Structure 1
Amino acid sequence: MTTERLAPPLIADEREMLRAFLDYHRGTLAMKCDDLTDEQLRLRSSPPSALSLLGLVRHMAEVERTWFRRVIDAEDVPLVWSPEGDFQDAFDDGTATRHEAFDAWHREVEHARRIERSAPSLDVTGHQPRWGADVSLRLVMLHLIHEYARHNGHADLLREGIDRTVGA
């Protein structure tokens, strides 16, 4: 499997630029997982860390679900792997599979895209209970770009440790 990842435009309006950079980072995470077995995707970085590529995919499904569905859309949906709200729970991937993790992640990305596209502007707000504050869709998109970029750095190192594949 080879992930198609489109480069963001060099010139676009704010919303299109944010959308494109978020999709670019989503594609980067998927690309880092291309052509690996479930066992390879579950390989952990180094003890005691539970960090793995499959754990990152599961974690980002939780992040997408939280910020777009729970915060912006105010849906009353539980987290998938983090029933107590601890996002680190998603990293515990001992029995996880590519199919299970990527299905959940793809579903959450599609929900997020639907929510973002249906919002009349980036100024739409939702409430982030952890912060005790209202946040804009603009902040959510920037936060997700930051979250993916940070974790894609982890994914680079994990992938290199698995099969020496490097580069974005």
Structure 2
Amino acid sequence: MISAGLIAGSIIFWSLKLGIGPTPTSSKVRSSIRRIIPDDVSGEIIELGCGWGHLIPILREKYPSKKIHAWERSPIPAIFTQGVYRIEVKRDDFFKANFEKAGFIICYLFPGAMERVEKEIIPQLPPGCWILTHTFSLSKRVPVKTLKANDLYQTQVYLYQTPL
């Protein structure tokens, strides 16, 4: 009982601190991601805010020879993802990271974080880097491709690419 309370308390604390909880990507949105994800990626594969790790299998399936870099600040989902998917999860603030070697970034972040991605991360990205988001778009960019998930909300999946 105490463990469940500590786990719940940790998730609530980090949700309030970060402005969003570790929300899983639904299976229908994951299906859309499988259909839109780029084939040709030359740099590192990076998931920003991996939460419970539901996108890790898609990334591994699509890019079996590439190392996936996962980031999650909330400790319980990070530990879960690391244990279940046997992947290193960085618990640092990804806004302080260097993305010069990125080839593909995938994220499901709240609108405020998406604004920061546009301002702070995208300028670091190499030409041709792919960015995939869902639910929340990059407001100052035009996607290369969009797809609507076949779910209740018709969730949008957005694929962007930095200029070549």
Mark yes or no: TM-score above 0.5: no
**TM-score normalized by structure 1?**
0.24
**TM-score normalized by structure 2?**
0.25
* Higher relative contact order, chain-length normalized (CA < 8 Å, sep 6+): 1
Task: Please identify which structure carries the higher helix content.
Answer: 1
Task: Please identify which structure carries the higher strand content.
Answer: 2
